[in-house]
């Protein structure tokens, strides 16, 4: 789950990570009031959307950038007006962009140097790591690709957190002045503690700023959370901003399904993430375009599978549906029963190709055959893919 920058900064501030003072504004007037209240000569007015690259991104139909500096309250109001209700396109939003519903007005600071740091779980090391680089404020992936030696990585134990000596190793390699090492220790250690305590999956500070007076401060903050751990963080789960999410994906998540909307015409309903990805690959291999990724998971019941069909059918671009089930935990009888149920309650207005294999397959096929539901049955993957591509093309 993603959250906004201002929400991440609230969480970081509470965890002892230095951030600048700031206020959220939902109208130009609020932005002006925020500027006055903050009382610094310069403020940054930042669009709050769940996507990065805002500084370089711009609003559709104007030259307004996603992040701009304001030197007066009127200035702040003008920038907020240029952003609020407008669609911001950045390198991460895709060409359709995202609507800006709120801005974050943040006080300025005197920047000495810009650095990069992030905390994430490194699969290869098998533990969380703190990553830092002298190349701040730029695309870190570019740095990783071209100058990997500029990327520093310190693994740490979740319970002990980053050791003090590790922060000194980082400070030395980052070339921080000795007078800032205590500030760096405080920053890095509180950041890694926050990562673990909040069950984050990514905590990225880009840029991390060394200020003129030797302090360390998180100028930007991007935070995503481990969905599997939200059950023990009700307060964080409450930060979810559904307006930022694809409605069908939100609906799927509520039903315990994993759904990603894509741009094709062939709806896919599959059990298991690997098989679901492979089914998309196969549809494409045979000349079709998948409309979605949908993994009903291992333990889905009839109600969840029915909801899955509803979600797929709510996409008006879907011209045919491919159901590919290889039963393990999931029993073919569950899918078959749900399919019959869905055809009664939802009604299929597009051709349905079904391929069943695995646990209780014969019983499942029997349920389908005797139900009277109009279904194109398929044997094996290739047969299923060919049939669904043909069915979609015929519509």
Partner 1 sequence: MSILVNRDTRVICQGITGKVGEFHTRGCLDYGTRMVGGVTPGKGGETIADLPVFDTVAEAVASTGANATMIFVPPAFAADAILEAVDAGIPLVIAITEGIPVIDMARVMPVVHASKSRLIGPNCPGVITPGQCKIGIMPGYIHTPGHVGVMSRSGTLTYEAVWQLTQLGHGQSTCVGLGGDPLVGSSFIDILALFEADPDTHSILMMGEIGGSAEEEAAEYVKHHVSKPVAAFIAGQTAPPGKRMGHAGAIISGGKGTAEAKLAALRDAGIEIAASPADMGTAMARAIAARKK
Binding site for partner 1 (CB under 8 A): 92, 121, 123-124, 126-128, 140-141, 144-145, 157-159, 196, 199, 201, 226, 228-229, 231-232, 258, 260, 262, 270-282, 284-285, 290, 293, 295, 297-299, 326-329, 357-359, 380-382, 385
Of 36, 1, 44, 2, nearest to 20 by C-alpha is: 44
Distance CA 389, CA 287 (A): 7
87, two tokens: 């669609």
Nearest distance, CB of residue 219 and partner 1, angstroms: 20
Nearest distance, CB of residue 234 and partner 1, angstroms: 14
260, two tokens: 């990603």
Strands 111-122 and 127-133: antiparallel
Quote the distance between the C-alpha of residue 385 and its chain's center.
30
Identify the three-state secondary structure at position 194: helix
CA distance between the termini of the chain: 37
Of 73, 30, 25, nearest to 47 by C-alpha is: 25
- What does DSSP assign to residue 226? -
Nearest to partner 1 of 157, 213 (CB atom): 157
Nearest to partner 1 of 241, 357 (CB atom): 357
Nearest to partner 1 of 293, 348 (CB atom): 293
Catalytic residue positions, numbered: 116, 204
Nearest to partner 1 of 326, 348 (CB atom): 326
Nearest distance, CB of residue 172 and partner 1, angstroms: 26
294 phi/psi in degrees, rounded to 5? -140, 115
Type and span of the H or E element at 355 = strand 352-358
Nearest distance, CB of residue 356 and partner 1, angstroms: 12
Nearest distance, CB of residue 320 and partner 1, angstroms: 17
Residue 353: C-alpha distances to residues 26, 258, 385, 386 (Å): 48, 21, 9, 10
Nearest distance, CB of residue 169 and partner 1, angstroms: 21
**Cβ neighbours for 29, distance < 8 A, ≥ 6 positions apart:** 77
Distance CA 215, CA 237 (A): 32
Residue 12: C-alpha distances to residues 120, 197, 217 (Å): 15, 11, 11
Nearest to partner 1 of 135, 183 (CB atom): 135
Nearest distance, CB of residue 182 and partner 1, angstroms: 28
Nearest to partner 1 of 179, 232 (CB atom): 232
Nearest to partner 1 of 22, 272 (CB atom): 272
Of 240, 236, 238, 258, nearest to 248 by C-alpha is: 258
């Amino acid at each position: 789950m993603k959250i906004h920058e201002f929400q991440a900064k609230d969480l970081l501030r509470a965890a002892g990570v230095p951030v600048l003072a700031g206020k959220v504004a939902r109208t130009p007037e609020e932005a002006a009031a925020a500027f006055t209240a903050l009382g610094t000569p310069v403020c940054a007015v930042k669009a709050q959307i769940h996507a990065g690259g805002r500084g370089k991104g711009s609003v559709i139909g104007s030259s307004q950038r996603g992040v701009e500096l304001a030197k007066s309250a009127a200035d702040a109001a003008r920038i907020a007006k240029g952003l609020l209700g407008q669609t911001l396109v950045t390198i991460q939003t895709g060409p359709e962009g995202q609507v800006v519903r709120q801005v974050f007005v943040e006080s300025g600071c005197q920047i000495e140097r810009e650095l990069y740091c992030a905390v994430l779980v490194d699969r290869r090391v098998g533990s969380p790591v703190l990553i830092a680089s002298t190349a701040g404020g730029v695309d870190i992936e570019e740095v990783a690709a071209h100058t990997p030696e500029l990327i520093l990585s310190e693994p740490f134990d979740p319970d002990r957190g980053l050791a003090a000596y590790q922060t000194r190793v980082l400070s030395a390699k980052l070339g921080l002045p000795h007078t800032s090492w205590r500030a760096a220790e405080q920053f890095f250690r509180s950041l890694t503690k926050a990562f673990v305590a909040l069950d984050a999956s990514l905590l990225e500070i880009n840029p991390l700023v060394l200020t003129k007076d030797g302090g360390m401060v998180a100028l930007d903050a991007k935070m995503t959370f481990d969905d599997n751990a939200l059950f023990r963080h009700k307060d964080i789960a409450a930060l979810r901003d559904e307006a930022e999410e694809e409605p069908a994906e939100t609906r799927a998540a509520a039903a315990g399904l994993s759904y990603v909307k894509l741009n094709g015409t062939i709806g896919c309903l599959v059990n298991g993430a690997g098989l679901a990805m492979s089914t998309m690959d196969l549809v494409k291999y045979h000349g079709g375009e998948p409309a979605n990724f949908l993994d009903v998971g291992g333990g889905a019941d009839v109600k969840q599978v029915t909801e899955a069909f509803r979600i797929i059918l709510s996409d008006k671009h879907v011209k045919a549906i491919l159901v590919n089930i290889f039963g393990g935990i999931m029993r073919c009888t569950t899918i078959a029963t749900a399919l019959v149920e869905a055809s009664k309650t939802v009604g299929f207005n597009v051709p349905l190709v079904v391929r069943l294999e695995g646990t209780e397959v014969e019983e499942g096929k029997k349920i389908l055959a005797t139900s009277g539901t109009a279904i194109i049955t398929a044997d094996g993957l290739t047969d299923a893919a060919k049939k669904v591509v043909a069915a979609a093309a015929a519509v």
